[in-house]
Chain A
């Protein structure tokens, strides 16, 4: 019996980056001119650079393994999944896999807003590679899982975003492949639904010989679902091991660390948006890693585009295992359009070493107009300073290192 599910040999993916003209979409005329220029001026400056998104990737996944792929943004996780699911082709190397593969890189691929829920189940199912019989056989189950029976004949563009995601995930969850590839789809939907999805994926993985590859930024989700892990960094495979080892290695590496993060604009930027986050020490010096016990601050730069009557900026700290630690807000105020910064200084709470996610939110009249919980993280590292280090016994003693006031009295 064949024991290997996926065998990856020497996989690499090269992209060409165009340095001078940033628009990737070349127009025909421009390429004609460029061609002409090349002929006239043979010593044309080279503006194209090779970029290896993945290099020398080798691993072998056994049947029934559930493998979590972790690494920071740009490490090559998505590229690897795209190659495995045959959406893009590798530049080098070879992959062999056994059995039917289905990939879920996005929830609701090919959903059409004008079609009803029922029609979209069939369309999406066939896009994901299900046959008509399979869809019909599982139709009732899909509908039950999605909890949208009532609206089955309503165009999905009238759905709430929660209903939309539930329906889309329901179809995908009832795919029945031997190998399932999932990319961060759990990042959508509310907490209850995320839990349900994770549960469903857990069920799937327990049904015999299912092999799962799963990319997520949530260490908790990865640890819950997977038994093996792959750690990618800058396009290279750092380690392939049991999930506990991989998660620990990743958290210890402090690899998520940066001192300056650029934020993506929100979908609706009519009020304004945050664009940069700086991690600094208390005097404003950039910090990639925060020495344990020292003071630090987070500076969020944002643009306001219209007068806001009741503006609040907020920031939260979440532990690597998704446990909220602390949230702080600014006092509500009226602000005019312009550039602003808001600084959160940490001078009282002493967090233990590790990686923490930062949640950033800007709101007006209690409505959040920019929310981000997936980009910024901070790393608290061993200081090497004995005075503070003495207080750390180990991480088992808790997230918060500040000692309480401890009094010892002899009563008798």
Chain B
């Protein structure tokens, strides 16, 4: 086996190399999971308590804001969006931090750097699955059996993950040089939270008396489409952008992802120099 080291900037995504390092992905994920609740009194219960409290708080808030639809429907819709957004925002945050927080490994040993962002997703995913199960139980009791569209959930989650990881990858690369990312990102995510359909459903937003340009911008945000698709798969009612906008969203996601992966690969070999 021959390996060549050159001064070239560019690196490539080599799938076979990533597969060769699969045990590293596993052990880094396990490390994150195991270490997380060490020396806490409640331990793993935190993974149940946090989404539960979130669901209750935001559900209660939704009752204050939106009084038109039925209370149960409202409560459940809002909590579904809250746990889904929790997944998206923690994935973006964790992927963004994955390089800097593992700099001790990054500067001491070689491995495909993409392993770090990939393995940082595990925690958020495990949290989401727990939260989702907690959410499904009352939904099932209150609304009865879910529509057939529920089988779409895994695909929509994958779609959302793909986009979130790409965004995270961009910020992760930027944060190697600019630690500003750590301070900037929470703001961006907070603003994004208010720009997606949490409390106000899309149809209601469209009926507001505002200039059309804002509505177009609203639809151009890929997260609006993703969240409405998620709601559709849970409740069987679609209330989101039309097909044209969904396609534009998909194109946006693909272009942004390619750019962000290229940005990552361009600097991958210099991470240890700058971190």
Given contacts A26-B177, A115-B34, contact A98 B273 (CB under 8 A): no
Closest residue of chain B to A31 (Cβ to Cβ) is B178
Cβ–Cβ contact B105 & A114, under 8 A: no
Tell me the complex Cα distance, A15–B111, Å: 23
Cβ–Cβ contact B272 & A115, under 8 A: no
- Scan residues 359-406 of chain A and give those whose CB is less than 8 A from a CB of chain B: none
Q: Which residues of B contact A129 (CB under 8 A)?
A: 21, 24, 109-111
Total chain B interface residues with beta-carbon distance under 8 A: 38
Cβ–Cβ contact B5 & A89, under 8 A: yes
Q: Closest CB of chain B to A21's CB: distance in Å? A: 15
Cβ–Cβ contact B180 & A89, under 8 A: no
Report the number of A-B residue pairs with Cβ-Cβ less than 8 Å.
Answer: 115
Cβ–Cβ contact A89 & B269, under 8 A: yes
Cβ–Cβ contact A94 & B4, under 8 A: yes
Contact with B along A75-108 (1 / 0, CB 8 A): 0000000111111111111111111110101100
Contact with B along A268-307 (1 / 0, CB 8 A): 0000000000000000000000000000000000000000
Q: Which residues of A contact B180 (CB under 8 A)?
A: 27-29
Q: Contact partner of A95 among B5, B110, B111, CB < 8 A?
A: B5
Q: Closest CB of chain B to A380's CB: distance in Å? A: 37
Cβ–Cβ contact B107 & A87, under 8 A: yes
Q: Is B6 an interface residue (CB 8 A)?
A: yes
Contact with A along B16-57 (1 / 0, CB 8 A): 000001011011101100110011000000000000000000
- Scan residues 117-133 of chain A and give those whose CB is less than 8 A from a CB of chain B: 119, 122-123, 126-132
Q: Is B2 an interface residue (CB 8 A)?
A: yes
Q: Closest CB of chain B to A270's CB: distance in Å? A: 25
Tell me the complex Cα distance, A105–B35, Å: 25
Closest residue of chain A to B8 (Cβ to Cβ) is A89
Q: Is B216 an interface residue (CB 8 A)?
A: no
Tell me the complex Cα distance, A130–B2, Å: 19
Q: Which residues of A contact B269 (CB under 8 A)?
A: 88-89
Q: Is B108 an interface residue (CB 8 A)?
A: yes
Cβ–Cβ contact B3 & A105, under 8 A: no
Total chain A interface residues with beta-carbon distance under 8 A: 46
Cβ–Cβ contact B2 & A98, under 8 A: yes
Cβ–Cβ contact B7 & A88, under 8 A: no
Given contacts A89-B270, A91-B7, A123-B31, contact A96 B2 (CB under 8 A): yes
Q: Which residues of B contact A86 (CB under 8 A)?
A: 5, 110
Given contacts A26-B178, A105-B108, A110-B105, contact A88 B272 (CB under 8 A): yes
Tell me the complex Cα distance, A188–B178, Å: 34
Cβ–Cβ contact A99 & B111, under 8 A: no
Cβ–Cβ contact A126 & B35, under 8 A: no
Q: Is B215 an interface residue (CB 8 A)?
A: no
Tell me the complex Cα distance, A163–B34, Å: 22
- Scan residues 10-31 of chain A and give those whose CB is less than 8 A from a CB of chain B: 15, 25-29, 31
Q: Contact partner of B7 among A28, A31, A89, CB < 8 A?
A: A89
Given contacts A103-B109, A110-B105, A114-B35, contact A126 B5 (CB under 8 A): no
Cβ–Cβ contact A123 & B7, under 8 A: no
Q: Which residues of A contact B273 (CB under 8 A)?
A: 15, 88
Tell me the complex Cα distance, A27–B178, Å: 6
Which of B1, B8, B109: most chain A Cβ within 10 A? Answer: B109
Q: Which residues of A contact B6 (CB under 8 A)?
A: 89-90, 93-95
What are 20 inter-chain pairs, A to B, with CB distance below 8 A?
Answer: A15-B273, A25-B179, A28-B180, A87-B108, A87-B110, A88-B270, A89-B8, A90-B6, A93-B7, A94-B7, A109-B108, A109-B109, A110-B105, A110-B109, A127-B109, A129-B110, A130-B23, A132-B23, A132-B26, A155-B38
Q: Which residues of A contact B (CB under 8 A)?
A: 15, 25-29, 31, 82-101, 103, 105-106, 109-110, 112, 114-115, 119, 122-123, 126-132, 155
Across the A-B interface, give the 7 residue pairs with the lowest CB-CB distance, nearest first: A86-B110, A95-B5, A28-B180, A89-B269, A114-B38, A109-B108, A126-B24
